[in-house]
Structure 1
């Protein structure tokens, strides 16, 4: 994965639909917005998509089917406490995404690999949002 792709991930606006309506944005290496604190508590969370595996544009029908499969997989994880709609927004693109509360990094790493995603955003409780690179080979890691 090249640095320009990592820079794109870092500059993306990760939007989460709030339960009471409206959207809030998560940004890599920034504190989690206060409007998400009650929803998350001290749990781990992740912002992930199944759209455009390998960062290669796919037909909308393929992306929708993959996103539905990801939603089902997230619902089946025993630690999942909440799933909210999300939207990753860049300069000239946007991808439907999911904000999930509860699963640990190993669970999300596995799903990121299964859905061929290069990276996702995650955090613990009210801490900072971090970009996590995916790989089919350990170790997984933070983008530096």
Structure 2
């Protein structure tokens, strides 16, 4: 079943903020190139990356304790796959916030498998400095 238009619009309007090594953040936007401030984190010109969370499976609100436990499990799973990680936060136009992770060096198949494992409705992904794309699972 495809995502509702309202949900898709919300995803497209969201800033996918990645904490920078020296403070502040860079915001990934769907359809836009990877921000210049994040490009030095890449080890290859076409390296795959993803912005993913374990919070609120199937785009349905869930309690803080369950979300935190799932996020810790996602962090561990990404580390086991050798991803390099930066903390992130999805920030919606309406002020909604969701802790997330910016994962570098993890292929799209692995991202898809983790999104399925943590029942995510969508993730953001890309290659190198190219455009960020929305990957929907609903």
**Band the TM-score falls in, shorter-chain normalisation:** over 0.9
- Superposition map of 1:25-104 within 5 A: 25-40=27-42, 41-42=44-45, 43-78=47-82, 80=83, 82-90=84-92, 91-104=94-107
Deviation (angstroms), 1:121: 0.3
Moved over 6 A (4+): none
TM normalised by structure 2 equals: 0.93
Structure 2: segments with no counterpart, 5+ residues: none
TM normalised by structure 1 equals: 0.89
SS in 2 for 1:32: coil
Between 1 and 2, higher relative CO (CA 8 Å, sep ≥ 6) is seen in: 2
Aligned length: 133
Which of 16, 19, 30 is 1:17 aligned to? 19
Q: CA RMSD in A?
A: 1.0
